[in-house]
Amino acid sequence: MAMLRIASAQINPTIGDMHANVALMLHCARQARDAHAQLVVFPEMSLTGYYPGDLLEDEDFQRRMEMGLQELQLATRETPHLVWIVGAPMRRQGPGKPFHNALLALQDGAIVLQYFKQLLPTYGVFDERRHFEPGPDVARVLRVGDAQVGFMICEDGWNDAGLDYAINPFTRLADAAPDLVVTINASPSNVGKREQRHALFGAACARHRLALVYVNQIGGHDQLVYDGASFAVDTRGTVISEAKRFVPDLSLLDFDTLTRTFARTDGTPCTHPVDPQGLPVMEFYRQQIVLGLRDYARRCGFGKAVVGSSGGIDSALTLALAVEALGAGNVVGITMPSRFSSTGSVSDSVQLCRNLGITLLEHPIAAQVSAFEASFAATFGQKLAGIALENLQARVRGTILMEYSNTFGHLLLTTGNKSEVSVGYATLYGDTNGGLGLIGDLYKTEVFALCRHLNTGAGCELIPQTIIDKPPSAELAPNQKDTDSLPPYELLDEVLKHLIEGNRLPPSEREHARAVVAELQTRAQGKALLARIQHMVARNEYKRRQAPPVLRLRARAFGSGRQVPIAAVHYA
């Protein structure tokens, strides 16, 4: 029997911390060596972390990158019989961009193979063509033990249907007839992405009769979160093994080069497919947000967070998720009642923070708002009223929260949801203040659903039912309700899904959103509502451009994945 033992090392690298990233890889390589693996595979650009962006243009970053590669090569000498597969930017010569996105096979201090990524994604959240030149249209294969192993990098494997690029690295690699394909990846996570990967690589493997090992990174990097979920596919196209999601994981598989089948290290054949369902959507949201916040705070140097607690559902959900990510002792809520605040805005905040075990501070704002009103009237000869007075309250609250953040060093979390962010139902320099938005890619209806999910998981009212049941309100004017300015969220969210995500929606969501929009278009009143919502989305691009980053959960989130001009005619 000719057997190759493979260690898939899904790690959580930090962008730019080459020394720490090498240490992560060495730790995994030692484990792989001790488990008698012959091949250890790390994610795409594991040396630098994905994606460095314009740091690649910084001379100091380039110098540290070169030093990191030398350190990495030196580290492989500790495991001389183990082949390391790593990802790194590699400098190139000649016309074009200065780097290749490279896969390196390292053994005993030497680079024994180089492969350069051919398909460079430059769409959505990706911008690789900005810094990288495509590699040549060639397959690279390396003998490891008794196996001929072929290599790809992430996007190279996504074009087997031939719809997006003129070349297909999968076909080229299949022509080289390897026993096994290894692909290294930095594939950001969103709803449905795991299932999409399985379907796409499963179909390609079945078509070419190739077995494949797919290794993905994990971790939060600004807006993006990577879920790991590395997997193996057999020659039938069946996903037969999967690593953990949202945590580092080193998984071991044996590959029989004669039968081209996988087995676990105890000899048990891998013949049964993994569960196709994965995580329920709300549980996926929970885990993705928690990891995203935890890594964002850690990498930006924050150990604690502060949230303005309005007694509403958005701030309640933000606080609950922050507690899970950072711990109750590291989260503070601040309630800031005004003369328009309901009794429940404070009492519900008190109950919520008691349930979560966190400190709640009260800082009334009536005096500050009155002082601004008096000063404005004295200077400009006119009283503050309407939207100006409403926004003043939000800005006073935002200022207090930033004062607290500056004084005590807490990360301020903004609490806007995707529905509000879409239509501009937020105050610039007020409730948009903060360093990160946890729920900015959740529609309002999903906010309610995730709150109920957290309560179910906790087995108690972690988030008080009174908060979930109360009609949403900004409480900036007497008896104000969100529905005074917006259509019901059940309707608004479907229209927004259609406008913002469109064909990127999962099929069931897409069909429902289209049906809602089609029904509205049958009536004059419905057409007017659609036009109003379209105008609101377009008109408020300037607010989103100045807002904090939001953790991406869906296929299209606001931020780097949606680039539209501010000064433009969006709809005729």
CB 558 within 8 A of CB 418: yes
pTM for the model stands at 0.95
Give the pLDDT of the chain (572 residues) as one tens digit per residue.
589 999 999 999 999 999 999 999 999 999 999 999 999 999 999 999 999 999 999 999 999 999 999 999 999 999 999 999 999 999 999 999 999 999 999 999 999 999 999 999 999 999 999 999 999 999 999 999 999 999 999 999 999 999 999 999 999 999 999 999 999 999 999 999 999 999 999 999 999 999 999 999 999 999 999 999 999 999 999 999 999 999 999 999 999 999 999 999 999 999 899 999 899 999 999 999 999 999 999 999 999 999 999 999 999 999 999 999 999 999 999 999 988 777 777 899 999 999 999 999 999 999 999 999 999 999 999 999 999 999 999 999 999 999 999 999 999 999 999 999 999 999 999 999 999 999 999 999 999 999 999 999 999 999 999 999 988 765 565 666 666 678 999 999 999 999 999 999 998 899 999 999 999 999 999 999 999 999 999 999 999 999 999 999 999 999 988 988 888 887 76
The first and second tokens of residue 294, run together, are 């935890």
Co-location of 188 and 308 in the same domain: no
| Residue 129 CB-half CA count within 13 A | 8
The first and second tokens of residue 471, run together, are 């009609």
Co-location of 121 and 58 in the same domain: yes
Query: Is 300 marked active-site?
Result: no
Residue 199 pLDDT: 96
Residues whose CB is less than 8 angstroms from the CB of residue 557 and which lie 6 or more positions away in sequence, other chains included: 190, 223, 418, 440, 441, 550, 551
Which CATH number characterizes residue 416's domain?
A: 3.40.50.620
Residue 474 pLDDT: 59
Co-location of 274 and 401 in the same domain: no
Residue 522 covered by a domain: no
Residue 542 covered by a domain: no
Angle at which helices 524-539 and 507-520 pack, to 10 degrees? 120
Q: Return the residue matching tokens 């809602």.
A: 516
Q: Which domain covers residue 469, as residue numbers?
A: 283-482
The last residue of a domain, from among 457, 482, 507? 482
The last residue of a domain, from among 444, 462, 482? 482
A 10 A CB-CB count for 77 gives: 12
Residue 17 covered by a domain: yes
The one catalytic residue in 28, 117, 390, 501 is 117
Query: Is 78 marked active-site?
Result: no
Beta bridge partners, 149, equal: 142, 180
Residue 229 pLDDT: 98
Count of the separate structural domains present in the chain: 2
Residue 63 covered by a domain: yes
Residue range 66-104, pLDDT digits in tens? 999 999 999 999 999 999 999 999 999 999 999 999 999
Residue 301 covered by a domain: yes
Which CATH number characterizes residue 233's domain?
A: 3.60.110.10
Class of residue 199 by CB neighbours under 10 A (exposed 0-12, middle 13-18, buried 19+): middle
Q: What DSSP line would sit under 36-94, residue for residue?
A: T-SEEE--TTTTT-S--GGGGG-HHHHHHHHHHHHHHHHHHTTSTT-EEEEEEEEE--S
Residue 539 pLDDT: 93
Co-location of 121 and 193 in the same domain: yes
Closest CA to 411 of 383, 434, 433, 391: 434
The last residue of a domain, from among 449, 482, 515? 482
Q: How large is the C-alpha radius of gyration of the chain? A: 26
Co-location of 269 and 381 in the same domain: no
Residue 482 pLDDT: 65
Q: Return the residue matching tokens 């057409």.
A: 527
Alpha carbon distances (Å) from 452 to 191, 260, 282, 351, 461: 19, 46, 9, 16, 9
Co-location of 267 and 168 in the same domain: yes
CB 101 within 8 A of CB 116: yes
Beta strand 224-227 with 218-221 is: antiparallel
Per residue, what are the HEC states of 491-538? HHHHHHHHHHHHHHCCHHHHHHHHHHHHHHCCCHHHHHHHHHHHHHHH
Look up residue 481 and give its DSSP letter.
-
Q: What DSSP line would sit under 197-238, residue for residue?
A: HHHHHHHHHHHHT-EEEEEE-EEEETTEEEEB--EEE-TTS-
Residue 509 covered by a domain: no
Co-location of 57 and 181 in the same domain: yes
The one catalytic residue in 44, 128, 242, 501 is 44
Residues whose CB is less than 8 angstroms from the CB of residue 1 and which lie 6 or more positions away in sequence, other chains included: 256, 258
Amino acid identity of residue 487, one-letter, is P
Co-location of 250 and 194 in the same domain: yes
A 10 A CB-CB count for 424 gives: 18
The one catalytic residue in 28, 128, 154, 324 is 154
Residue 570 covered by a domain: no
Co-location of 291 and 245 in the same domain: no
Co-location of 312 and 246 in the same domain: no
Residue 476 pLDDT: 61
Distance CA 284, CA 265 (A): 30
Co-location of 106 and 183 in the same domain: yes
Residue range 474-529, pLDDT digits in tens? 556 566 666 667 899 999 999 999 999 999 999 889 999 999 999 999 999 999 99
Residue 38 pLDDT: 98
CB 465 within 8 A of CB 325: no
Residue 560 covered by a domain: no
Q: Return the residue matching tokens 């433009």.
A: 568
Co-location of 40 and 148 in the same domain: yes
Query: Is 117 marked active-site?
Result: yes
